[in-house]
Structure 1
Amino acid sequence: MLSYDPGDSVGHRLDPRTKLVAQSCVVVAAFAHTTPRGLAALTVVVAAALAACRLSPPDALAEFRAVLPFLLVGPALESLRLSAPWVVPADAVPPLLASYRTVLLLALAAAYVRTTPVRDSEAAVAWLVPGRPGRFLAVGVSLVFRFLPVLQADVRRVRSAMQARLGTERPVRDRVRIVGVAGLRRALGRADSLALALRARCLSWNPTPPPLRLRRADYVALAASATLLLWGLLPTAESLASSLPAPL
């Protein structure tokens, strides 16, 4: 389940603000370097991040397995043609690279969720965006991190109950309808209970956040993130330089 898993890895000890900055720098670099060589370099970066969090790539992508088929269907459809030649493999390369880039970013997001407590993420967002807007965003992040695993568990229970009642013998359309309706009903019920709990606890706009403190490992990670950001901005700088008129 995609949720926080307590541990003592380097990723667990990093400040959540450091991890958010590092993720942003990786995103910039991923969209700036879309060639196979650039994505290979980013693969090394993401693999190092997963190793620092003691998280294997299969475990990182396990919760996104429902998304992975769509990332493969896109390149396959792009290579198809309605006339001869019916298949053009070269046309599938750009969307395939884009799909692989998405896989890298999903793995990095999974590493963040697995190593960061929800309250720390909430405090980091509120620190990055001060005032009530930041508090509003922090509450949204907190609710997503807390609510999504509960909804996933509800859907799994619905599927298990359906299978126990020989639901697998039904047509696919009926199975999708049963799981979808039951999952939506439970989600609405959870939302009503959550709203009541928030009112009962007098949700505050100025809560006491957990202490956030940068350590030596954070400064090393921030320096590496800055290097990655400069590498990501390099193509843009080169493009601007080439567009400037030549000196007389």
Structure 2
Amino acid sequence: MSLFSNITIGQYYPGNSFLHRMDPRTKILALPLLIIMALLADTPAGYIMSGGPVVLALLSAGIPPANYWQGLRPLWVILLLGLVIQCLTVPGEKLWQWGILSISREGLSLGLTLFYRLSLLIISTLLLTMTTTPMNLTTALENLLQPFKQFGVPAHELALMMTIALRFIPTLLEEAEAVMKAQQARGGSLRSGSLPQRLQALMGLLVPLLASSIRRADELATAMEARGYRGDIKRTRLKQLQYRPADIAVLAALLVLTVTIAAERWA
């Protein structure tokens, strides 16, 4: 079984749910609103209002929970590490102590808040990439950046670069696994040996990956030039994006929730 086969970061999950049918521009605009709500919430009501839309999106997407877990699993270590650091380093009323280690009420509260906010941020981003095809992401980003082209912003190029980066995440993971297996066949391993030996093995993994990425980028550029690719000059699209009443209603509801949470925080 592939070592990275269960990682779903940047992968699209086919479906016909309400979230899949939503205009990709709506989902891109909704993401910063969800992040802002998660960062501003500091009361039970605020946590419910910021987490409610994400829970509804999870239920309406029609994606098996196992797929979300696969996307979150590589990041659980970071989330749990942040929680532990906050619990052990923030001073306050002690809830538990063992030697020099202690957990304070304030540290636990701050750690859980950080855990909650980072989880919402990650899940919201996963929902965007898992319910939107790379092509629709490119089209939506370019459309949203069009007003900035008069200031010299390369809208099409920026959208294309982000989409290509998402597209090649699974490819890079597969190449990383191939390099790791080649190292193991030669007696090297990232999981055994002293710290200097592990760092040396890590360099042996990064260098081939970097060389492979540069080679793949050069091949992609050559293929695009051979096919007459010239950016967004005189480009047309078969499918035109169009906002629906449901898209406007979703954005309006999220905007109202964001303003409500902000007013509650600073009232």
Q: Give the TM bin, normalised by the shorter chain.
A: 0.7 to 0.9
Structure 2 residue aligned with 1:59, among 42, 51, 67?
67
Residue 150 (structure 2) pairs with residue 147 (structure 1) = no
Partners of 1:162 and 1:239 in 2: CA distance: 53
Q: Deviations over 1:71-102 (max 9, x none)?
A: 22122122325998632332132233123212
Q: Percent identity?
A: 27
What is the identity, as a one-letter code, of the residue corresponding to 2:102?
A: V
TM-score, scaled relative to structure 2: 0.75
Indicate the SS of the match to 1:159.
helix
Gaps of at least 5 residues in structure 2 are: 1-7, 92-98
Structure 1's 162 and 39: CA in aligned 2 closer, same or farther, altered over 3 A?
farther
* Cα separation, partners in 2 of 1:170 and 1:75, compared to 1, 3 Å: closer
Q: Which amino acid aligns with 2:260?
A: L
The question of 1:211 aligning with 2:239 is answered yes
Which residues in structure 2 correspond to 1:27-176 (within 5 Å)? 27-81=35-89, 86-90=101-105, 91-130=107-146, 131=149, 133-163=154-184, 167-168=188-189, 170-171=192-193, 172-176=198-202
Deviation of the 1:62 alpha carbon: 1.9
Closer, same or farther: CA 219–78 of 1 in aligned 2, 3 Å: same
In the superposition, relative to structure 1, how do residues 204 and 163 fare at CA in structure 2: closer, same or farther (>3 Å)? Answer: same
Summarize the Cα distance change of 1:119–1:89 in structure 2 as closer, same or farther, 3 Å threshold.
Answer: same
The residue identity in structure 2 corresponding to 1:29 is M
One-letter code of the match for 1:159?
M
Q: Figure out how many residues of one structure are paired with residues of the other and give that number.
A: 239
TM-superposition CA deviations, 1:173-216 (whole Å, max 9, x none): 4443332233222222222222323333333223223423446x
Is 1:184 paired with 2:210? yes
Distance 1:237 1:94 in 2: 21
Question: How far, CA to CA, are the matches of 2:177 and 2:71 in structure 1?
Answer: 13
8 Å Cα contact 1:57-1:107 kept in structure 2: no
Query: Which runs of 4 or more aligned residues in structure 1 lie more than 6 Å from their structure 2 counterparts after TM superposition?
Result: 82-85
Mapped partners of 1:41, 1:239: distance in 2:
13
Aligned counterpart, 1:246: none
Q: Secondary structure at the match of 1:80?
A: helix
2-structure distance, mates of 1:3, 1:143: 12
Separation in 2 of the partners of 1:223 and 1:81? 43
The Cα offsets for residues 113-142 of structure 1, whole Å up to 9 and x where unpaired, read as 122121211111111111353223212222
Q: What's the C-alpha RMSD, in Å, of the aligned pairs? A: 2.9
SS in 2 for 1:49: helix
Moved more, 122-131 or 46-55: 46-55
- Counterpart AA for 1:203: R
Contact (CA 8 Å) 1:35, 1:97: kept in 2 or not?
A: no
Deviations 1:148-197 (A, max 9, x none): 22212211222344445554475244443332233222222222222323
More helix by percentage: 1
